[in-house]
Amino acid sequence: MSEKHLFFDGCDTVALAQKYGTPLYLVSLSDIEEKVRQLKDAFTERYENTRIAYAGKAFLTKGMVRIIDRLDLCLDVVSGGELDCALQAGFPPERIEFNGNNKLPWEIDLAIKNGVGRMIIDGFHELDLIIESAKRHGYTVPVLIRLTPGVSADSHDYIVTGKKDSKFGFPIDSPALFETIERAMDSEWTNLLGFHFHIGSQLEDNKVYLDSLDIVFDLLRKLRKEKNFAPKELNIGGGFGIRYTEESNPKPFDYFFTPVMEKIENFFQQEKLPRPHVVTEPGRSLIGEAGRTLYTVGSMKEIPGLRHYVLIDGGMNDNIRPALYQAKYHVVNASKFDEEPSELYTIAGKICESGDILAKDVLLPPTKPGDILAFYSTGAYNHSMASNYNKIPIPAVVLLYQGKDELLVKRQNLEELHQNDLIPKLVQEL
């Protein structure tokens, strides 16, 4: 133990790097618990008929599934793989909600066979598949329909999903939406509960949620008049922004939920209808700041007058976000945490891509090969987006809790890396 080092959830990060090797993802259970408590305080504890479904795409492993279960949350999955992970970890299927813009027949079947709690319909064709599967399994499926309200959210284009020109959901005025609503209302195999929207990710302004609600309310008025339909459930998605760097401006949960719930309650009061169950689907805001990644500094390269590169033992394989969305991170030298940051460095990975730069122009104390660097707020969309490009194994994930540490995911080894490779006869006979 040394005061010089960075501590995370009561653990010395440099000692963790020595014990487990680097790159290494760290996840703090205390931080997850704290974020969930904050969200419950602002939402489920404050309003009746509400539910939180953690968006597994942000970070999902069997251990994480158990944590979500123990914290009494529901789980949003978007693929057969995420669903299988949840089921294998023993998560109750009735608390699973299935999103995704092109669910495959086998994925739909796996979900319906297991009696998942909600299917979020994303296209007309998908509804056919759901009905066929529901008939086969004799299960009337509770469904919501995903809408794209057409508001523009102030976030990176790749993580904005609620605008009209989107591969997700149905624009409010699309003829296919009305056909889907009619079909889902008429079929004895689907129980249409209501609607879902998810506007985008890393959002810092509540206005986009409120504007989306206005648009959804227009649709609800129309449906009430024309089809006598009143929703029992409304899912407002996730997307709440977190702190990545000093420039981030994240807001507490009640900044979003107070006006959103007020608006929803007012609308249904005016319409003289019971307020539907309200669901939120956050990923990043529950796990993002609970994660950090450790790297070991290898070579350093100074290009005089231009840049001082610090080369680390990971890169875009374990954190694709800087290359994909120009995402920025707060970085510290965990070995010299007590020293003043005084030198400007650019941190580059070891992947054979010039775009493999994890952080440009960050201030660190004078840094040397062998030092441990820590990237903050890497809990979401890092491990879940990791790849084996350049045949590099995916790092381990260690769970921390008040000074204790335990593996959540083992580091991939070289054997596992090639375990699906075959040398076909055609090749052997060459």
Ligand X SMILES: Cc1ncc(COP(=O)(O)O)c(C=O)c1O
Nearest to 213 by CA among 267, 285, 283, 171: 267
Specify whether 352 is catalytic: yes
Q: Which is nearer to ligand X, 80 or 237 (CB)?
A: 237
Catalytic member of 11, 74, 85, 352:
352
Q: Which is nearer to ligand X, 80 or 393 (CB)?
A: 80
Q: Which is nearer to ligand X, 93 or 237 (CB)?
A: 237
Q: Which is nearer to ligand X, 1 or 104 (CB)?
A: 104
CB 305, min distance to ligand X, A: 40
CB 286, min distance to ligand X, A: 8
Q: Which is nearer to ligand X, 235 or 346 (CB)?
A: 235
CB 84, min distance to ligand X, A: 19
Residues that bind ligand X (CB under 6 A): 55, 57-58, 76, 99, 161, 198, 201, 237-240, 281-285, 380
CB 280, min distance to ligand X, A: 9
CB 239, min distance to ligand X, A: 4
Catalytic residue IDs: 352
